[in-house]
Structure 1
Amino acid sequence: MTTAPASPDPTMEAIGHAVAEGRAGGRASARRKLLGLWSAIGVTGDPLHRCSLAHHLADLYEDAAQALAWDIRALDAADAMTEQRVQEHHAGLHIAGFYPSLHLNLADNYRRLGSFDAATEHIDAAKALAPSLPPNPYGDLLRGAIQGVAQAIVRQDRSRRASAPGPAA
């Protein structure tokens, strides 16, 4: 989903560095850095920054309820974002491409919490929006995850997905 930005964005760069640190095993430090950035951005700050930060911060929590809170913030920020703002950041991105992943994450968190009706609502939204995913490995990964979460919802399986981003529980 990421390639070279249209113009330098220090906040997005800081988010990216923290995300990389978290993926390398420094989850606690990455959370602190992202929470500090969240304080600086503010709840009414740039929706692209809020969406990106919240989406990635959710992955740094093992607890589904904590992850859910950040995934809700990410979806709220996406709803406030404009296509123009996304294009300013990167000409190859489209806001429609954000939504399948955002709804997938919400569905997965609700499923893990045992709220299967809410999980179904969001996995249905992710399925409906999946055609906007690119025909590449990232799109394939998300389509597979959508299918896997949908199956887990049907089974009422609350266990963490092995393929889920973030720390293994």
Structure 2
Amino acid sequence: MREQQEASEDAVMTRIGQAVILLHAGDREEARNRLGEIWSEIGEEGDGLHRCTLAHYLADAQDDPGDELAWDLRALTAAEGLADRPREAVRAFYPQLHLSLAADYVKLRRPEAARVHLARARAATGGLSDDGYGNGVRAAIARLERRLATEPGQGPRPFPEQSP
């Protein structure tokens, strides 16, 4: 029985991965449709890792920044519910999830909210490995920090964790 459950969970992640390939290839609509179908199947009460992963990629597949923010918030909520997972694995999610939220708030012209999530992303980088993924997330955080620090009409501004 447990083997069947694990196989079915692997099948869900495989389907998510297939949709993500479409997303990265530029077929946002088909990726959004496939990811949406999976979300409908597992629902709000489905496996937290599946919900976190799905919501994260569904956010990337959205055309409207408000919709993207809503999905990224769902991803963060799902990650916060992963108490049954190994702590190290879950900690690695937070920098990217907060970075995504910061980018959403930039698109929505809410720089203060973006700064809050960017500071949370930076604070969570201790959970990242020193590998291509971790280095890429750290570099993306630094790029968005620079962008927000020199926002037109705002002048350089400190981030919440920095002293004024």
Aligned counterparts of 1:155 and 1:114: Cα–Cα separation in 2: 14
Aligned counterparts of 1:156 and 1:102: Cα–Cα separation in 2: 22
Q: 1:129 maps to what in 2?
A: 124
Name structure 1 gaps, 5 residues minimum: 1-6, 88-92, 158-169
TM-score normalised per structure 1: 0.80
The aligned amino acid for 1:43 is E
The aligned amino acid for 1:20 is I
Match among 95, 98, 121 for residue 90 of structure 2: 95
Aligned counterparts of 2:78 and 2:104: Cα–Cα separation in 1: 18
Match among 153, 156, 160 for residue 151 of structure 2: 156
TM-score normalised per structure 2: 0.82
Asked whether the equivalents of residues 83 and 95 of structure 1 are also in contact (C-alpha less than 8 Å), the reply is no
Aligned counterparts of 1:142 and 1:63: Cα–Cα separation in 2: 23
How far did residue 22 of structure 1 move?
A: 1.4
- What per-residue deviation string (whole Å, max 9, x for no partner) do you get for residues 8-43 of structure 1? 411111111111111122211110011111111111
Aligned counterparts of 2:75 and 2:100: Cα–Cα separation in 1: 10
Q: 2:21 maps to what in 1?
A: 20
Q: 1:71 maps to what in 2?
A: 72
Measured on the aligned residues, the alpha-carbon RMSD in Å equals 1.7
Q: Which of the pair has the greater relative contact order for Cα pairs under 8 Å at 6+ separation?
A: 1
Asked whether the equivalents of residues 103 and 123 of structure 1 are also in contact (C-alpha less than 8 Å), the reply is yes
Q: Decide which structure has the larger Cα Rg and report it.
A: 2
Aligned counterparts of 1:155 and 1:108: Cα–Cα separation in 2: 15
Report runs of 4+ in structure 1 exceeding 4 Å deviation: none
